[in-house]
Amino acid sequence: MPILPIDSGRYGSTEIRKIFEENSRLKYQLEFETSVAMAQAQIRMIPKDAAEEINNAVVANLVSLERIKELETISEHDTAAVIEALSEQCSSTTRPWIHYGLTSSDVVDTSISMQIRDVLVLVESKILTLTETLLDKASKFASQPAVGRTHGQHASIISFGLKFAVWSLELAKHLERIEEGKKRYLICKTLGVVGTGSLMGERALEVQNLVSKKLCLFPIDAGTQVVSRERLAEIQFIIALVGCTLDKIATEIRNLQRTEIGELSEPFKTGQMGSSAVPVKRNPIKSERVSSLARLLRPLVIVSMENIPLWHERDLTNSANERFTIPMGSILIDEMLSSMIKVISELRVNRDKITANINLTDGKIYAEFVLDELIKKGIPRFEAYRDVQRIAFSETSLTFVDAIRQDSKLANLLNEHDLARIFNPHNHLAASIKIITNVSKLVNRTRRKMSFNNYSK
């Protein structure tokens, strides 16, 4: 019976959960074992017939998970149980060459890299989809003036589309990080007990290079019995970093969906319930889920960093928790991306409310531009600043523009043509459209690099 929600299928796609199922983990390990044997046979380190028999046993699925579990109850060593179960399916002349020159950490660490390799295929695709979906929204709302807020207060005019462009850009940067970092954390190791390749001798690196190429991984340059945990900490950090960006997007959506703001809202399908008690509520539950899971992702980075200082050439203090952190991080980020893709794709934007919110302060949002116009007319900055603040903070029922018209000093400096230009929100989008265009070009470059990298593999 499932205990954790990721076991029950509540979170994560079927494809990503399959990567971490027990049968899949076994397949990764057996693929590694046969890849090593075939590489060793290729350079005549072990007999060719032995490598072929090992490969045939793996391809024919002769090694069962049930038998491995039986053997593990005796040896209390999961990798040893895999090797023993494989040995049972091979002849006595082949058995000495199974797992030749390897240690269990070679199997475990390279299998983890294979899992991460396949996770990233799914995750990168979803990041790219979300990046492009956000970019579409950025283009659609590029010319829509909106309230820009700092410290939770109205600050100045912003292009509503610029919000989406900023998010799209950061996700594109995450794709760059993932691609650039693969050579560090998609690592293959076949160098044995203490990282010297002891039993394989001087040709150990040749074997490792062949296996790495076969598995679409990168050979480790140096390690101990294990791949240094800095590698796993880095990918765990990148996953959490992507999660933080999704949390940032979700937080903004949740804020803009507040009843008092109402500029956008999550999709709400027919029959959906926002509250069991209040029928009229449309709660931003998908965005809240993203923020909630992000809080679970971030501490996984701390655990992965704690795994870096192992004793001597290795100990087992990292092993048990990595059975949690790597699958959890991967499955949760997959779930968060899927949720956010749906939210952004079907996002409801209320242009009327966006415009109404600009006018919420009776024109005070244009204070920056009033100040700028006064400076351009020769008024010293701080004198102009105090004049604008004096009028803005005065207790009056007048709108900001009418208060300026009635001010004896500013009325002589700002004519009706100036005021009409200043108090038009469409005049204050500045470089927004150009910025969004530049982000679009950057995303397109990132997409092309990804396609090239995938093709090159």
269, two tokens = 């399908």
User: What is the distance between the terminal CA atoms of the chain, rounded to a whole angstrom?
Assistant: 40
Band (278; pLDDT cuts 50, 70, 90): low
Which of 92, 151, 417, 426 is catalytic? The answer is: 151
Is the domain defined by 364-422 classed in CATH 1.10.40.30?
Answer: yes
Q: Would you say residue 258 has pLDDT above 80?
A: yes
Domains 104-357+433-456 and 364-422 share a fold: no
Is the domain defined by 104-357+433-456 classed in CATH 1.20.200.10?
Answer: yes
Which of 8, 91, 275, 394 is catalytic? The answer is: 275
Q: Would you say residue 367 has pLDDT above 90?
A: yes
Going by their DSSP bridges, the two strands 153-159 and 187-188 should be labelled as unpaired
Q: What is the pLDDT of residues 209-242, one digit of tens each?
A: 999 999 999 999 999 999 999 999 999 999 999 9
Measured N-to-C along each axis, helices 104-140 and 78-88 cross at an angle, to the nearest 10 degrees, of 110
Asked if 174 is an active-site residue, the reply is no
Is the pTM above the cut of 0.85? yes
Rounded-to-integer distance, Cα 227 and Cα 225, Å: 7
Q: What is the pLDDT of residues 101-114, one digit of tens each?
A: 999 999 999 999 99
Asked if 397 is an active-site residue, the reply is no
Rounded-to-integer distance, Cα 217 and Cα 113, Å: 8
Band (279; pLDDT cuts 50, 70, 90): low
pLDDT at residue number 456: 41
Rounded-to-integer distance, Cα 241 and Cα 246, Å: 9
Domain limits, the chain: 5-97, 104-357+433-456, 364-422
CB 128 within 8 A of CB 450: yes
Q: Which fold has domain 5-97?
A: Fumarase C; Chain B, domain 1 (1.10.275)
